Amino acid sequence: MKLSINGLNIVGHADISVNGLAVIAGENGTGKSTVGKTLFATLKAVATSRGNISTGREKAVADLADPIFSRLFRMRLAGSDNALGTLIPASRSQFISEVSSLTSAADVDRYFDRLLEALAGTPVYDAVKADIAALAARINMSADTDGAISLALNRLLQSEFLGNISSAGGASSVTFSDDASGFSLSYGITHGDASVTSCEGKASFRDATYIESPLYLHLLDILDKLSGTRFFDDDSRLSSLMLPAHVADIVEKIESLRYVYDLHSSRATGLSASLSQLAGGEFFYDPARHAIMFRQGDNDIVPLNVASGVKSLGLLQILLDNKIVTPDRPLIWDEPENHLHPSWQIRLARFFVMLAAQGMPIIVSTHSPYFIQGIRHFAVKLHAEQFVDYYLTEMDGTTSITQCVNDDLNRIFIKLAAPLNEIMDLSPD
């Protein structure tokens, strides 16, 4: 998975490859979060537009098939043609289901061939033939993938960057590719409007999740009310959203667990069980309280009273247990070290490396040398160095450049240690 950004927000240029775990380091205000949000918007736009295209096609086909069934059903009720009973399903839903499964105009012709022969010379022949022709044309129509993705990109990018997308008001460009599936996407952004310039292949990923704080776990009710609407259910309502897309997305995902999370189900083996062991308990949905709780021994604790480090591990546990993060559902975590003691940062780093080694695509931005050294340490100890790439964002004038520094990690540590070095000298001036 590769992402290239030019002239978007503060990012002048960035090239990122995700071969497992991509670590983007740098000072605040250098565009680390911009890279993550752009990747989230890109992945989410492709995934959601694919669903919208499918939903739109199904509705259009159903709308065109319905009058055909109605005409034939009335004829059958009138008893004017008893042969119709053997040529079409008895129920409307079955008829629409069969028609929806057709994939080409040729399929439509074959499906209705005997029916049209039976209707020859009847008063409804011309009308039914015209309806079938319209249906064939719609089924044969290729989905407007580029247009659907452009629409989704515009809504997501506007939500994430509030209109401040292009650097200095100029043009921006983004290219995404996935060698595993052969999918590639390029789009430009001019005057705040995104437009797909190239889209090839079929994407293998199905979703993406962007996290910037484990505090979501005890702010769910407030965030859910602020979001006002389910972000990805109805594109026409996105403009009314009060939260950035990535926040509304994670709130929806966690809130949905209220209805599917099984208190008594066995934990996902391996990493999830290790997370629970390290955290000293596990998060679960308590139907009696209608809330997500943390169970520690015999005690159930509200998330507000759980340490931030435990919340971070618990949130990761929830994402894994419910398959919100999988090999085809990347995780993007902005500064996971926030609120964490260095010892907890190192623990979290270990699990990110373990996830990457098991095929989970993860992108993290960070300004913590503890966290980065933790990843570096466990990548070596777990023989997972091939799954980890390191990047450094630095300002170049008024915009930033993000470069791979796998061969010179000292650049990261020198950059992040500079503030401490400045105050280490206690000698009087």
Phi, psi at 325, each rounded to 5°:
-115, 120
Domain contains 293: no
Domain contains 227: no
Domain contains 107: yes
- Whole-number pLDDT of residue 400: 94
The DSSP-derived string for 351-388 is HHHHHHHTT--EEEEE--HHHHHHHHHHHHHTT-GGGE
Residue 276, pLDDT > 70, answer: yes
Residue 19: pLDDT band by 50, 70, 90 thresholds?
very high
Instruction: Give dist(CA 275, CA 318) in Å, integer.
Output: 10
Per-residue CA distances from 313 to 172, 307, 336, 344 (Å): 36, 10, 10, 9
Instruction: Give dist(CA 389, CA 19) in Å, integer.
Output: 8
The DSSP-derived string for 312-352 is HHHHHHHHHHTTSSBTTB-EEEE-TTTT--HHHHHHHHHHH
Residue 230, pLDDT > 60, answer: no
* Average pLDDT of the chain, as a whole number: 82
Query: Stretch 234-254: mean pLDDT, rounded?
Result: 66
Q: How much is the pTM?
A: 0.76
Domain contains 159: no
- Helix, strand, coil tally for the chain in percent (to 5): 50, 20, 30
- Whole-number pLDDT of residue 264: 42
Under a CB-based contact definition with an 8 Å cutoff, are residues 252 and 231 in contact? yes
Which of 64-78, 213-227, 231-245, 340-354 has the highest mean predicted lDDT (pLDDT)?
A: 340-354
Instruction: Give dist(CA 350, CA 73) in Å, integer.
Output: 64
Total number of domains in the chain: 1
Residue 237, pLDDT > 60, answer: no
Domain contains 155: no
Under a CB-based contact definition with an 8 Å cutoff, are residues 38 and 208 in contact? no
- Whole-number pLDDT of residue 302: 78
Instruction: Give dist(CA 73, CA 113) in Å, integer.
Output: 18
Question: Residue 303: which residues within 8 A CB-CB, separation 6 or more?
Answer: 217, 218, 283, 292, 293, 294, 311, 314
Domain contains 245: no
Residue 284, pLDDT > 60, answer: yes
Under a CB-based contact definition with an 8 Å cutoff, are residues 246 and 212 in contact? yes
Which has the closest alpha carbon to 154: 144, 168, 165?
Answer: 165
Instruction: Give dist(CA 186, CA 75) in Å, integer.
Output: 52
Which has the closest alpha carbon to 143: 59, 66, 87?
Answer: 59
- Whole-number pLDDT of residue 269: 53
Question: Residue 294: which residues within 8 A CB-CB, separation 6 or more?
Answer: 281, 282, 283, 300, 301, 302, 303, 306, 310, 314
Q: Which amino acid is at 197?
A: T
Query: Stretch 156-185: mean pLDDT, rounded?
Result: 83
Domain contains 219: no
User: Within a 13 Å sphere around the CA of 189, how many CA atoms are in the beta-carbon half?
Assistant: 28
Domain contains 132: yes
Residue 24, pLDDT > 60, answer: yes
- Whole-number pLDDT of residue 226: 53
Question: In a 3-state reduction of DSSP, which class is residue 288?
Answer: coil
The pair of structure tokens assigned to 324 is 């919100």
Give per-residue burial for 105-135: e unless 16+ CB within 10 Å, then b. beebeebbeebeebbeeeebeeebbebbeeb
Question: In a 3-state reduction of DSSP, which class is residue 14?
Answer: strand
Q: Which amino acid is at 113?
A: D
What domain range includes position 99?
A: 55-140
Q: What angle do CA 267, 272, 274 make, to 5 degrees?
A: 115
Stronger pLDDT, 226 or 106, i.e. the higher one: 106
The pair of structure tokens assigned to 249 is 């997305």
Under a CB-based contact definition with an 8 Å cutoff, are residues 330 and 361 in contact? yes
Under a CB-based contact definition with an 8 Å cutoff, are residues 406 and 390 in contact? yes
| Residue 356: CB atoms within 10 Å | 24
The DSSP-derived string for 152-187 is HHHHHHHHHHTT--BGGG--EEEEEEETTTTEEEEE
- Whole-number pLDDT of residue 84: 64
